[in-house]
Structure 1
Amino acid sequence: MTSATRIRVAVIGAGLMGRWHAYAAVRSGARVTAVVDSDQSQADRLAARYPGCRAISDLATALELSDVVHVCTPTETHVPLARAALTAGKHAVVEKPLASSATDTAALLSLAASHGVFVCPVHQLVFTDGVRRAHTSMQRIGPVRHVGFVLCSAGAAGAGPGAPGRVALEVLPHPLSIIARLFPDALGHAAWSVRHPAPGEIRVLGQAGDLTVSIVVSMSARPTKNTMEILGVRGAVYVDLFHGFAVRYSGNVSRARKIAQPFLHGAGHIGVAAANLALRIVRREPAYPGLVPLLRAFYAAVASGGAHPIAPSETLAVACASDELMALVSGVRTSLRTEGDDAPGWRG
């Protein structure tokens, strides 16, 4: 295999994420050759969008028709589907979280290495223009003192009583993956505390050396948003993770700047947001910024045998931090049931 344009992709799961993965795969130069879903009519509809693509009911046939398998199914199915693909010598792109535990994640990474293939979690936010600009801006605003994330999502709306808690936990890899990329040693040395005031509501505080981290996840707060702010001693960077852009703010201090600051910030935000929207229109990127750059990098690594765009050590660091936070959330739940509603709910 010498070119990403020759890569054949099988999409497992023809729901919303499967549809976006198929679109992004084609935008990244691959061919969608197979779609697998337990709902045959849904698989038929997605396959019909791509010439030469087959809607198939069994995984084995899909594996024969593909070089890379995209797993876009519920979390509990990720490990068996990814394991089947890797064992068959196929590369795998797996929606977040890659697996339900760090142990399973490590096992998949080991299996991939033993078969000479790659397994890639969909940590696409790391590949957005906004996060990349934030990364390059850190030298200009640093040393960095704090990074904070706020994620208010409607992703659990109408999905049943257990959905808010499940979805809140499933989105945690996104901020953790950004921390792992921007601050490579932080996750391995961070001390965490968690507050879990209600299902679908998670508040995280962390510290790694001089760096502090906050993560707010809410399934009920509105408006919906997904933002990151990096605060340094010489300035700050605001990142809109929904739309994939970043704005850097100067840390210069003066009375005049203090008066003008709301106007400067507003003008900067509007200008960058407008330019970003225009660029996304040109790129034909209606949603999920970062997914196409991630897939292009992954397909290039598959085609050339080059470096994985997300190092296995980075993938495992995110999984270990996710395990730790989920354990803390579980401990808070147990504490609240045992101690009553007045319990403070912090664990760390």
Structure 2
Amino acid sequence: MALHHARAIARSGGLAQLVAVADPVPASLASVRQASLGVREFPSLEELLATVAVDVVHVCTPANTHATLARAALGAGCHVYVEKPFAESTVAAEQVLSLASRQGLQVCPGHQCLFERPAVRAQALLPYLGDVVHVESFFAFTPAGPRPTGTAPLAPHHQLLDILPHPVYLLEHFLRQGDARSPIDLIAIEVGPQGTVHALVRCGRLTGTLVVTLEGRPVQHYLRLVGSHGMAQCDFVVGTVQRLLGPGTSGIDKVLAPFRLARQLVGEATSTLSTRVIPRQRSYPGLTEITAAFYRAIQSGSAPPVSPDSILATQRICDQIAAVILPTTGTAAPVRPVPPTIATGGSAVAVTGATGLLGSEVVRELTHAGTAVRAVVRREPAPWEQIPGVEYVVADLGAPLATGALRGCRVVVHCAAETRGSWDAHQRNSIDATRHLLSAAAAARVRAIVHVSSLGVLADGASQRKAAPDESTPPAPNSQDRGPYVWGKLESERLALRLGEELGLQVKVVRPGAIIDSRHFDPPGRLGRRVGPVFVAVGSPRDQLAVVERSLAARTLAWLALHFDEAPETLHLVAPQPPTKRDLVTLLRRTNPDLTVVWLPRALLLPLAWLSIALQKVLHPRRPAMNPARAFAPQPVDTTRIQALAPLVLTQSPRRSAAASSPTGAVTGAGEDPRPRPRGHQGSSLARRISGE
């Protein structure tokens, strides 16, 4: 965030100059240094203030440090810009504002959306809307994944609270336009099971609605104003404003309204795109504008761009919503740092990566079996992520693990791994994490490890054999040419087997194919790529892909943990009858009816892949060149072992599905789709009957 502020200061029209930055992390200082040459660097704000004379301090640190650093800057006689959230509580915000008032200094919060083009346009339209009767502020976003450094992101509920001020202060600001004297009150709030917030906020006679969701798609951020003489809708993602002014009650008004809105949308979107792309806007919209307004207010001694009353009203509403979100719900065991204090007498199963796509489902399967589960997680899980009865232990496997984290466990299911990021991130969160986990397991006298690897580790020659590769097929001798993910998976598998022998651990390896969920289908990477409204499917429709339903994968891993002695040493965890690419595209079309699918034959992909390899060798001669064609290659796999195991897993599963209890169920754990199949394609291999296995 500091980098965006550095750019905003540079674009403030000469109103200010960045002279110093403070951060205890050298990498963060380096990023700002690239944007602002000649800036002095310090490891702390205290040292900066003691060395350099500054007029304004921008606080861009984590939210729990905002109030402390703001007070320190004010105490040194500096005006302060504080990123959102302004503070962790209303009391802390009041202390900052009170100190600023006593010192005669100004404070500005990070409410830059008020200075974005849509909000400015909406403010100008207010006189034409008549009396405002409704204000709606809506924000749908996707939680951020792991950071580029490989460290864990904020938990989803903390990410929600981090962005919450944006829709709240927009709602507060425009409610006050209808009634500037009345107080702002949160009169009703409901938080859904996955963290979707619905709230009613009242200002005098006017009531507005607030919706913030992690689940809603697509990503949206809009403000809707309805008045007695028209409406305006502001889109902060696209940067557009659409309006309908006038009573709109006649027949011709109703007929022309959608065409008027469509014309405005095309024109506004084109204009906004040109202003953002052509000048290569590199900071958040509105940030430069609010920064410049703050500096002008300081120089002229006028009122700050955001009033203290608005800051406190926003903080109070956010505090009230946080009070509903933060308490742990249900009967889940409390989240604790290591070491845990609850001993389980050696009967628990530990699961790493327990908030991930696969790990969370494994935890559910084990709890349904009545097994004590200890979930080892990198970050505190959101209340709606916690499963009742599960003990959650927060531990970073990228660092040495305390022995107590696994004490009392008899089996560890190791699902945790890096899924994106740099080579260093995969080294830390896949390879080093495996080393730390097995070392802690040995110290805690855990002797059974189920290590989750990947089918991607198999040698290339395996796919060229006449017979499909089975569990005896050796891994690739060198995986660096396949990218950091496969490299991390292969090296962590090798390390797990080696450490198992050295430490006296029994390590059993499971190599899943791409994990899919037919209910919420996200196409695996080997199928192709989505480009806007078009999906480019690569290869032949007849190519088989080694995928596995999430439910079957989780049930199998839970079964292996509970029947460890009976489990095979190695298992390729795929659908017993792998689907073709045509099957998966059919499933994709069912869930995305507006999507256009285009097939790209491998014959056309290969020349592009060769060109890509040549460019990689020229541009990055020290890095291994990756062959993109390999990412879309078919995956023939011998399924003899999983075919024999799947019926046993499903019949002994604590949550026996229709697949296990009736001859018409699906081996993959996905039920038959009730909709008719396209003619000429009967019986997708994702829904084979057990009787046919």
Q: Normalising TM by the smaller chain, what interval? A: 0.7 to 0.9
Question: 1:89 Cα deviation (Å)?
Answer: 0.8
Amino acid corresponding to residue 32 of structure 2 in structure 1: L
Question: 1:229 Cα deviation (Å)?
Answer: 0.8
Aligned counterpart, 2:267: 271
Within 1, Cα distance between the matches of 2:282 and 2:181? Answer: 33
Question: Are 2:15 and 1:44 aligned?
Answer: no
Aligned counterpart, 1:27: 11
User: CA-to-partner distance for each residue in 1:206-226, whole Å, 9 max, x for gaps?
Assistant: 333442211111123221111
Within 2, Cα distance between the matches of 1:107 and 1:73? Answer: 18
Question: Are 2:102 and 1:114 aligned?
Answer: yes
Which of 124, 128, 139 is residue 151 of structure 1 equivalent to? Answer: 139
Any unmatched runs of 5+ in structure 2? 333-383, 385-693
Within 1, Cα distance between the matches of 2:122 and 2:94? Answer: 29
Question: 1:227 Cα deviation (Å)?
Answer: 0.7
Which of 137, 144, 164 is residue 156 of structure 2 equivalent to? Answer: 164
Give the TM-score of the pair, scaled to structure 1: 0.84
Question: 1:237 Cα deviation (Å)?
Answer: 0.4
| Contact 1:167/1:200 (8 A) holds in 2 | no
Question: 1:166 Cα deviation (Å)?
Answer: 1.0
Question: Are 2:172 and 1:180 aligned?
Answer: yes
Question: 1:161 Cα deviation (Å)?
Answer: 8.2
Any unmatched runs of 5+ in structure 1? 1-16, 342-348
Question: 1:201 Cα deviation (Å)?
Answer: 2.1
The structure with the largest helix share of the pair is 1
Aligned counterpart, 1:218: 213
| Contact 2:196/2:213 (8 A) holds in 1 | yes
- The 5-angstrom pairing of residues 58-69 of structure 1 reads 58-63=44-49, 64-65=51-52, 66-69=54-57
Within 2, Cα distance between the matches of 1:243 and 1:68? Answer: 32
Do the aligned partners of residues 45 and 178 (structure 1) sit closer, same or farther apart at CA in structure 2, a change above 3 Å counting? closer
| Contact 2:93/2:315 (8 A) holds in 1 | yes
Give 3-state SS (helix, strand or coil) of 1:261's partner: helix
Aligned counterpart, 2:577: none
| Contact 2:70/2:96 (8 A) holds in 1 | yes
Give 3-state SS (helix, strand or coil) of 2:241's partner: strand
Question: Are 2:195 and 1:203 aligned?
Answer: no
Aligned counterpart, 1:74: 62
The structure with the largest strand share of the pair is 1
Amino acid corresponding to residue 9 of structure 2 in structure 1: A
Amino acid corresponding to residue 56 of structure 2 in structure 1: V
Larger Rg, first or second structure (1 or 2): 2
Amino acid corresponding to residue 72 of structure 2 in structure 1: A
Question: 1:25 Cα deviation (Å)?
Answer: 1.0
| Contact 1:193/1:328 (8 A) holds in 2 | no
Do the aligned partners of residues 188 and 327 (structure 1) sit closer, same or farther apart at CA in structure 2, a change above 3 Å counting? farther
| Contact 2:135/2:226 (8 A) holds in 1 | yes
Give the TM-score of the pair, scaled to structure 2: 0.44
Give 3-state SS (helix, strand or coil) of 1:48's partner: helix
Give 3-state SS (helix, strand or coil) of 2:144's partner: coil
Question: 1:300 Cα deviation (Å)?
Answer: 1.1
Aligned counterpart, 2:121: 133
Aligned counterpart, 1:14: none
Question: 1:186 Cα deviation (Å)?
Answer: 7.9
- The 5-angstrom pairing of residues 252-331 of structure 1 reads 252-281=248-277, 285-330=281-326
Question: 1:101 Cα deviation (Å)?
Answer: 0.8
Within 2, Cα distance between the matches of 1:158 and 1:195? Answer: 29
Do the aligned partners of residues 220 and 38 (structure 1) sit closer, same or farther apart at CA in structure 2, a change above 3 Å counting? farther
- The 5-angstrom pairing of residues 82-101 of structure 1 reads 82-101=70-89
User: CA-to-partner distance for each residue in 1:151-202, whole Å, 9 max, x for gaps?
Assistant: 1112433475862111212222222222332232488243421111134421
How many percent identity over aligned positions?
Answer: 33
Q: Which stretch of the first structure deviates more once superposed, 193-202 or 275-284?
A: 275-284
| Contact 1:201/1:217 (8 A) holds in 2 | yes
Amino acid corresponding to residue 38 of structure 1 in structure 2: P
Aligned counterpart, 1:245: 240
Within 1, Cα distance between the matches of 2:282 and 2:153? Answer: 30
Do the aligned partners of residues 299 and 284 (structure 1) sit closer, same or farther apart at CA in structure 2, a change above 3 Å counting? farther
Question: 1:279 Cα deviation (Å)?
Answer: 3.3
Query: Where in structure 1 do 4 or more consecutive aligned residues deviate above 6 Å?
Result: none
Within 1, Cα distance between the matches of 2:115 and 2:72? Answer: 27
Question: 1:280 Cα deviation (Å)?
Answer: 3.8
Give 3-state SS (helix, strand or coil) of 1:198's partner: coil
Within 2, Cα distance between the matches of 1:57 and 1:320? Answer: 33
Within 2, Cα distance between the matches of 1:227 and 1:93? Answer: 25
Within 1, Cα distance between the matches of 2:143 and 2:48? Answer: 29
Give 3-state SS (helix, strand or coil) of 1:190's partner: strand
Within 2, Cα distance between the matches of 1:27 and 1:193? Answer: 41
Question: 1:102 Cα deviation (Å)?
Answer: 0.9
Aligned counterpart, 1:13: none
Higher relative contact order (CA 8 A, sep 6+): 1
Question: 1:293 Cα deviation (Å)?
Answer: 1.0
| Contact 2:184/2:201 (8 A) holds in 1 | no
The count of residues paired between Structure 1 and Structure 2 equals: 321
Amino acid corresponding to residue 200 of structure 2 in structure 1: L
Give 3-state SS (helix, strand or coil) of 1:300's partner: helix
Do the aligned partners of residues 155 and 288 (structure 1) sit closer, same or farther apart at CA in structure 2, a change above 3 Å counting? farther
Within 1, Cα distance between the matches of 2:202 and 2:133? Answer: 10
Question: 1:253 Cα deviation (Å)?
Answer: 2.1
Q: Which stretch of the first structure deviates more once superposed, 280-289 or 68-77?
A: 280-289
Within 1, Cα distance between the matches of 2:248 and 2:211? Answer: 28
Amino acid corresponding to residue 174 of structure 2 in structure 1: L
